[in-house]
Amino acid sequence: MEKKTVVLGVIGSDVHAVGNTILDYSLTNAGFNVVNIGVLSSQEDFINAAIETNADAIWVSSLYGHGEIDCRGMRENCEEAGLKDILLYVGGNIVVGKQDWDVVHKTFKDMGFDRVYPPGTSVEEGINDMKKDLGIA
Amino acid sequence: MEKKTVVLGVIGSDVHAVGNTILDYSLTNAGFNVVNIGVLSSQEDFINAAIETNADAIWVSSLYGHGEIDCRGMRENCEEAGLKDILLYVGGNIVVGKQDWDVVHKTFKDMGFDRVYPPGTSVEEGINDMKKDLGIA
Amino acid sequence: MELKNKRWTEEEFFKVREEVLNSWPTGKDVDLQEAVDYLKKVPEEKNFAIKLKKAKEAKVTLAQPRAGVALIPDHIELLNFLDKEGGADFLPSTIDSYTRQNRYEECEVGIEESEKAGRSLLNGFPAVNHGVKGCREVYESVNLPVQARHGTPDSRLLAEIIHAGGWTSNEGGGISYNVPYAKSVSIEKSLRDWQYCDRLVGFYEEQGITINREPFGPLTGTLVPPSMSNAIGIIEALLAAEQGVKNITVGYGQCGNLVQDVAAVRALEEQTEEYLEHYGYKDMVITTVFHQWMGGFPKDEAKAFGVISLGSIAAGLAGATKVIVKTPHEAVGIPTKEANAAGIRATKMALSMLGGQRMPDAKAIADEKAIIKAETKCILDKVLELGMGDLAIGTVKAFEQGVIDVPFAPSRYNAGKILPARDNVGCVRYLMTGNIPFSKDLLDFNRQRLEERGRYEGREVGFAMTVDDIFAVGKGTLIGRPEGK
Amino acid sequence: MELKNKRWTEEEFFKVREEVLNSWPTGKDVDLQEAVDYLKKVPEEKNFAIKLKKAKEAKVTLAQPRAGVALIPDHIELLNFLDKEGGADFLPSTIDSYTRQNRYEECEVGIEESEKAGRSLLNGFPAVNHGVKGCREVYESVNLPVQARHGTPDSRLLAEIIHAGGWTSNEGGGISYNVPYAKSVSIEKSLRDWQYCDRLVGFYEEQGITINREPFGPLTGTLVPPSMSNAIGIIEALLAAEQGVKNITVGYGQCGNLVQDVAAVRALEEQTEEYLEHYGYKDMVITTVFHQWMGGFPKDEAKAFGVISLGSIAAGLAGATKVIVKTPHEAVGIPTKEANAAGIRATKMALSMLGGQRMPDAKAIADEKAIIKAETKCILDKVLELGMGDLAIGTVKAFEQGVIDVPFAPSRYNAGKILPARDNVGCVRYLMTGNIPFSKDLLDFNRQRLEERGRYEGREVGFAMTVDDIFAVGKGTLIGRPEGK
Ligand code: B12
Ligand code: B12
């Protein structure tokens, strides 16, 4: 079976690099082709990388609290750029502060993210979900 | 002016002696005649001491959590023994656990205590109240 | 029967035993032979004594909460919560205050009222009233070793019931569960009653069942100078060993100065082992327990967490085998199970982040340890002299003469002549020395240290310091300074 | 203008300054002479630099939270809450992440949206957008000294605005606010931009106004070996001193092993003073700041309190002048003001119960301090060699060659060749040594320590250890051991 490709990065003015390093390491170990665009990445950076590498999924990390602003319109922008139905995941500390998770989850679902993860999610959980969603579980 | 007399003690099977030592010291310093019956004192002990010394007030301490059981009927027992309208104060950690103070306060008021104090009340507060209640403020 | 530090004969023991078991209906259900069989089936990981021994070997510090409620199902739920949600290593069963005074009728009332009210009106688990069956139900429903923690001058029936109930540790001792917990029980009586409890454990040891005993180190929890509590702990360990106890955990209540705390725990462990060895007690397993701050707590829960964590760290740095955990509700009332579990989690986090580190060797620690050992030795020497070699008799006389003297104790058998206060760095020292048999050097040392504080604070050394120190931690500092200092 | 470690001339400074002030409309409101007059009226107790100096003299450890929200009134409320309900000794104003990247347009959006939403959508206070007037409003509405805390590679406009706004301290530096906080800003540029910030402070010093500067010690907050962060702190202190800064607080992020933490803070303070002295900088006031654990936190609040308290105690025992406080919400998100205040209260309780105690002198501390100093010296010697005596030039080259190398830094100007891991007692050591210019002895020492751990855990020394260590504290332990170890 062909390796699936995941674009990985940290969105917005966010510089939290540690989780990104770990995700890269773990996704690679799990057999994915990882395109890591690193920290301080714009929606455009994600989308361009996904187009260039014909990616199957985009993993957006947002740690620093501005996730809500930074992720807005990402699904629409993907569609516009021709990335039809690409898997969009988001995780980290995606909003400012300790908020009701159900509300946060819904907000990001409504934005068009396929999976939305709370703080401290283990990498394995995301990987298992993605295997399911890509039909390779 | 004549010295007012306070009977002081810790009710029930309660052995917490430190607060009692401090109350004795502070009430004495504040000019009261203190009759300290100490820890492990029954309602009877309090009442007998009050009768013998013709006391103006009784300060009941309860720290260990059984205050609700130990104090029950104390007002009636005072009245029966002829201690009409003696000032009855209670303080310490008078119920089991961290409970809603309004409810606790009401319970002890309903039992006939004139003043009911929450954990960590300063001695000064009790003394000031008593001076007021005895009209010597 | 005359009090002596001598192992009871079978005859003596069984004669008293009959009386004990007849003192309340549930006593009749204790069948010693059946209990031995039952206890033989306790697996190693649920035996308190064995788990402590292993912890000592592995050089880890384990955590134990305090907890107890009136009714069996609630008590079981509480204990399992503290295991699962708190991560407790040992389970307690804190016994209610009526049981501690042997007022079992009042326990019945408490149990009934608790059933009616749907919440515990007792401040602990009335183990005697629940009997062997109730205690076994508790033991069988949990996954960790269980200990009775109380404050009972006459704990003979309680000891019979809990051990037969599968609880493999009992806290207390003839001094430590009398003087802080009773007003009018003679030392002679409580020593004798605790010889009974120890003899019972000795009996089990002879049947191949090891049970832990733990003298209550903190006493009144209020500014007890380390040498005083250490001397008492060593006496209780020696008395227990004489009755055949093999597995003993000596205890210490945090005073607050880290150097003093570490030195005190080390002195306690070393001197206990030295004295046991000197008196020829063999195959003893001595462990230590460190009690997080036992005096008045701050009401604020965040501050309480600070106090709890500092205590955990002191315990870890001292290398104590076990730490007894306080909760963020301490100043207010018996904690909810959630608050209790939170206290354990904060404790275990601090300990595991400390990762087994000990306080590095330092001259300051060695010096303080030398002082504590010297003071302790003065007390013990005098006790033995008074008893003309007999420790039990000596202890009774030592109390009469104020040679042993516990500050703020309610007991009328305690002289109450000594007063403690903190020195300028927060170590607890002897302010009024009463009849403490210290060498002149040691008396001078204590005085000098307090005078240093007096100079710094610009006031006389005296009782006002003690009063300020009593309130200090509750108000957020270690030392009770006058305002502006 | 060429980068050199040399005090900027007036001409150089004012030329750049014009450009800086024109980069965003609020820049125009900064009037340097008026600002000097304004700052002259700051009372001593609201001057950051003076309060730090006094704390050092009094040998106390003061506490400072992090906090910042988008809107002025909310920010003021927050700060006053942390003062009154938390007991903070210093106030922060954490700057939002758009400002840090000089993206002031996005800040405008964030401010507007926050106004609409009724809650802060920015992760900090956008000081540039609020301008001198906004900053003064904050300063005038609080009772404590205020500092800007951020992570801005180019903080020139921010520095102009906050100092003119009455804030008497600025955190950051050309390395410490670049490498952990940026991807593509060259070291050369950030060093130069921070020379500007330092020169500005130097200018104020010349007018008789003392302002504190604080290099950001923890860097990426993730297993940074002490000698690496100490070397960077010392470089930034020297660069600042050259520009005329007099009051500097060098910082360190808790690694977790108490001996290493205490040794690191002491080494940092001593070596900073030694180097400043050696290069002839006079009348310097050097203080230290200890950051409570900067890596991933446990989600559970009780455990977080354990981590917070351990950090406070380490800070106190090390004798740091200031401690930066985490909160029980750390793992989840920016804390509520209540959670923030709770973190401060736990911190201050632990500190005040420690009562000014220091870690007693011990060989273990001295040994670790010697190692840290030797490693630090190797790095600094090489930096100076590369710069042929010029520290700024040397620093740029040192990054190019991986002589200075910060683990997990996002910057592409950072070699990223070194990897840290904990040794068997939890000290952070160099696992992959990249191009670090250590003597063979020091390289061997690091290797041996890690191999000791490898043997204990029965696995190869390698990146798996680093990964496990990154998760360890979040999961409740210091060292990331394989299961069952
Ligand atoms: C020290 C202590 C002990 C020592 C007591 C030594 C002794 N003989 O004195 C020891 C270790 C022996 C002990 C034992 C027990 N304790 Co205790 N103990 C404490 C502790 C930590 C401090 C008490 C103290 O000395 N405070 C300092 C003095 C100066 O303050 P104070 O006692 O509160 O008194 C002041 C005020 O309350 C007020 N006040 C008191 N009475 C009155 C009356 C009036 C009219 C007024 C105006 C004011 C007033 O003024 C006093 C002087 O300032 C408290 C918790 C806390 N406060 O932090 C628990 C606490 C009181 N203990 C408690 C319990 C449950 C016990 C035990 C049952 C169980 C156990 N833990 O082993 C046993 C009880 C034994 C018995 N039969 O009574 C609980 C009570 C729970 C509840 N009410 O829900 C507490 C609250 C701890 C807890 N949260 O669980 N304890
Ligand atoms: C280390 C750290 C820093 C370091 C970062 C160094 C670096 N360059 O990497 C420094 C000190 C520089 C820093 C700076 C800041 N930080 Co910071 N930081 C942290 C901290 C303590 C740990 C982060 C970390 O490394 N964790 C370890 C890694 C392995 O875990 P992780 O990052 O969470 O990633 C894992 C999971 O989240 C998950 N995951 C992540 N993304 C995704 C995506 C998918 C699809 C899936 C399935 C899973 C997944 O898998 C990852 C690997 O296991 C966290 C709090 C915490 N977690 O305890 C705060 C935290 C993230 N920081 C925070 C903030 C606010 C900041 C600052 C704005 C302010 C400040 N404190 O100075 C700046 C931001 C600068 C910027 N422009 O981004 C906030 C964010 C608040 C919020 N969201 O409400 C936090 C939560 C702290 C807090 N409670 O206030 N920080």
At D269-296, the pLDDT tens digits run: 999 999 999 999 999 999 999 999 999 9
Q: Whose CA is nearest to atom 73 of ligand 1?
A: B64
Opening angle at CA C301, ends C300 and C307, nearest 5: 95
Q: Note down the domain range covering C59.
A: 10-354
Residue D373's Cβ-side half-sphere holds a number of Cα atoms within 13 Å equal to: 19
Decide: C404 and C228 in contact? Cβ < 8 Å: yes
- Average per-residue pLDDT in chain D? 97
Give the global pTM: 0.95
Tokens found for residue A123: 């990498």
**A65:D183 CB<8 A:** no
Average pLDDT over residues D208-216: 98
Same domain, yes or no: D444 and D318:
no
Confidence bin at C59 (pLDDT 50/70/90): very high
Picking from D151, D69, D78, the residue whose alpha carbon sits closest to that of residue D110 is: D69
Q: D169: which strand partners?
A: D147, D212
Cα D164 off chain centre by: 22
CA distance D179 to chain C (A): 28
pLDDT, residue A1, reads 59
pLDDT, residue A66, reads 86
**C54 touching chain B per CB within 8 A:** no
pLDDT, residue C484, reads 81
Higher pLDDT pick, B58 / A136: B58
For chain B, 137 residues long, give each residue's pLDDT as a single digit of tens. Answer: 579 999 999 999 899 999 999 999 999 999 999 999 999 999 999 999 999 999 999 999 999 988 998 999 999 999 999 999 999 999 999 998 888 999 999 999 999 999 999 998 999 999 999 999 999 86
**B119:C334 CB<8 A:** no
**D32 CB-contact burial (10 Å; exposed 0-12 / middle 13-18 / buried 19+):** middle
Q: What CATH number matches the domain at A38-122, 3.40.50.280, 3.50.50.60, 3.40.50.2300, 3.40.50.1110?
A: 3.40.50.280
Opening angle at CA D255, ends D360 and D214, nearest 5: 90
Residues of chain D with pLDDT > 70: what percent?
A: 100
Tokens found for residue B12: 């029930």
Cα separation, C105 vs C127, whole angstroms: 13
Q: Which residues of C touch D307 (CB under 8 A)?
A: 349-350, 353
Same domain, yes or no: C51 and C143:
yes
Tokens found for residue D342: 């709770």
**A38:D333 CB<8 A:** no
Residue D485, pLDDT > 80, answer no
Percent helix, percent strand, percent coil in chain D, to nearest 5: 55, 10, 40
Same domain, yes or no: D282 and D426:
no
Cα separation, D253 vs D267, whole angstroms: 14
Q: Which of C306, C357, C361 sits opposite D353 (nearest CB)?
A: C306
pLDDT, residue B97, reads 85
Cα separation, A39 vs D338, whole angstroms: 31
Decide: D403 and D435 in contact? Cβ < 8 Å: yes
Look-up of token digits 């409320």: D77
Tokens found for residue C48: 């308190």
Touch D-A: 3+ C-beta pairs under 8 A: yes
Cα separation, C306 vs D345, whole angstroms: 8
Residues of chain D with pLDDT > 90: what percent?
A: 98
Contacts of A among chains (3+ CB pairs under 8 A): D
Does residue C73 lie within any of the structural domains? yes
**What angle do helix axes D226-242 and D258-278 make, rounded to 10 degrees?**
30
Same domain, yes or no: D206 and D287:
yes
At A29-55, the pLDDT tens digits run: 999 999 999 999 999 999 999 999 999
The CA R_g of chain A, rounded to the nearest whole Å, is 14
Picking from D182, D90, D217, D103, the residue whose alpha carbon sits closest to that of residue D142 is: D90
At C335-361, the pLDDT tens digits run: 999 999 999 999 999 999 998 999 999
Q: How far is the CA of D295 from the centre of ligand 2 (A)?
A: 9
Residues recorded for chain B: 137
pLDDT, residue A97, reads 85
Cα separation, C35 vs C58, whole angstroms: 31
User: Which residues contact residue B137 at a Cβ distance below 8 angstroms, ignoring those fewer than 6 apart?
Assistant: B128, B131
User: Which residues contact residue D19 at a Cβ distance below 8 angstroms, ignoring those fewer than 6 apart?
Assistant: none
- Where among C337, C354, C371 does a domain terminate? C354
Same domain, yes or no: C438 and C317:
no
Same domain, yes or no: D438 and D335:
no
- The residue whose CB lies within 8 Å of the most ligand 2 atoms, and thus the one to mutate among D158, D294, D411, is D294
Cα separation, C60 vs C45, whole angstroms: 16
Does residue D329 lie within any of the structural domains? yes
Tokens found for residue C63: 């955590």
How many CB atoms lie under 10 A from the CB of residue D23? 14
Does residue C263 lie within any of the structural domains? yes
Touch C-D: 3+ C-beta pairs under 8 A: yes
- Beta strand C91-94 with C62-64 is unpaired
Does residue C213 lie within any of the structural domains? yes
Cα separation, C457 vs C444, whole angstroms: 20
Decide: D372 and D227 in contact? Cβ < 8 Å: yes
- Look at phi and psi of residue C118 and say left if phi exceeds 0, alpha if psi is from -120 to 50, else beta: left
Q: What is the DSSP string of C176-245?
A: TTTTTT-SS--HHHHHHHHHHHHHHHHHHHHTT---EEE--TTTTSSS--HHHHHHHHHHHHHHHHHTT-
Same domain, yes or no: D169 and D261:
yes
- Average per-residue pLDDT in chain A? 94
Decide: A45 and A10 in contact? Cβ < 8 Å: no
Cα separation, D38 vs D17, whole angstroms: 20
Q: Which residues of C touch B21 (CB under 8 A)?
A: 408
Q: Based on the residue annotation, tell me whether B14 is a catalytic residue of this protein.
A: yes
At D89-113, the pLDDT tens digits run: 999 999 999 999 999 999 999 999 9
Does residue C218 lie within any of the structural domains? yes
pLDDT, residue B1, reads 59
Does residue D375 lie within any of the structural domains? no
Same domain, yes or no: C30 and C159:
yes
Q: Which residues line ligand 2 (CB under 6 A)?
A: A 13-19, 22-23, 59, 61, 63-65, 89-93, 96-97, 117, 121, 123, 126; D 66, 94, 97, 100, 123, 151, 180-181, 220-222, 294-297, 329-331, 333-334, 408, 410, 470
Cα separation, D447 vs D433, whole angstroms: 9
Residue D125, pLDDT > 90, answer yes
Decide: D290 and D314 in contact? Cβ < 8 Å: yes
Decide: D295 and D426 in contact? Cβ < 8 Å: no
Q: Which ligand is nearest to the CA of C216?
A: 1
Whole-number Cα distances in Å, C382 to C378, C390, C407, C447, D37: 6, 11, 19, 21, 73
**D192 CB-contact burial (10 Å; exposed 0-12 / middle 13-18 / buried 19+):** buried
Residues recorded for chain A: 137
What stretches of C409-466 adopt beta strand conformation (E)?
418-422, 428-433
Decide: D222 and D31 in contact? Cβ < 8 Å: no
At C179-233, the pLDDT tens digits run: 999 999 999 999 999 999 999 999 999 999 999 999 999 999 999 999 999 999 9
Confidence bin at A2 (pLDDT 50/70/90): confident
Return the sign of the alpha-carbon dihedral for residues C80, C84, C87, C89: positive
pLDDT, residue B117, reads 97
Same domain, yes or no: C347 and C472:
no
Same domain, yes or no: D109 and D229:
yes
Q: Which residues line ligand 1 (CB under 6 A)?
A: B 13-19, 22-23, 59, 61, 63-65, 89-93, 96-97, 117, 121, 123, 126; C 66, 94, 97, 100, 123, 151, 180-181, 220-222, 294-297, 329-331, 333-334, 408, 410, 470
How many CB atoms lie under 10 A from the CB of residue D208? 9
Picking from C269, C283, C255, C467, the residue whose alpha carbon sits closest to that of residue C358 is: C269
Cα separation, C265 vs C464, whole angstroms: 29
Tell me which H or E stretch contains D56: helix D48-58
Opening angle at CA C359, ends C357 and C360, nearest 5: 100
How many CB atoms lie under 10 A from the CB of residue C312? 33
Look at chain C and report how many structural domains it folds into: 2
Picking from D304, D272, D344, the residue whose alpha carbon sits closest to that of residue D78 is: D344
**D206 CB-contact burial (10 Å; exposed 0-12 / middle 13-18 / buried 19+):** exposed
Average pLDDT over residues C415-444: 97
Contacts of C among chains (3+ CB pairs under 8 A): B, D
Return the sign of the alpha-carbon dihedral for residues C302, C307, C309, C310: positive
Cα separation, A10 vs A23, whole angstroms: 11
Q: Which ligand is nearest to the CA of D218?
A: 2
Residue C314, pLDDT > 80, answer yes
**What angle do helix axes D301-318 and C337-354 make, rounded to 10 degrees?**
40
Average pLDDT over residues C292-301: 97
* CATH code of D55's domain: 3.20.20.240
How many CB atoms lie under 10 A from the CB of residue D81? 17
Same domain, yes or no: C424 and C296:
no
Same domain, yes or no: C431 and C327:
no
Look-up of token digits 């880890």: C60
Q: Which residues of D touch C345 (CB under 8 A)?
A: 300, 302-303, 306
Cα B86 off chain centre by: 11
Tokens found for residue D226: 């002490």
How many CB atoms lie under 10 A from the CB of residue D319? 20
Does residue D400 lie within any of the structural domains? no
Whole-number Cα distances in Å, D19 to D7, D28, D128, D156, D363: 19, 11, 15, 10, 54
Return the sign of the alpha-carbon dihedral for residues C265, C271, C274, C276: negative
Cα separation, A25 vs A16, whole angstroms: 16
**C352:D258 CB<8 A:** no
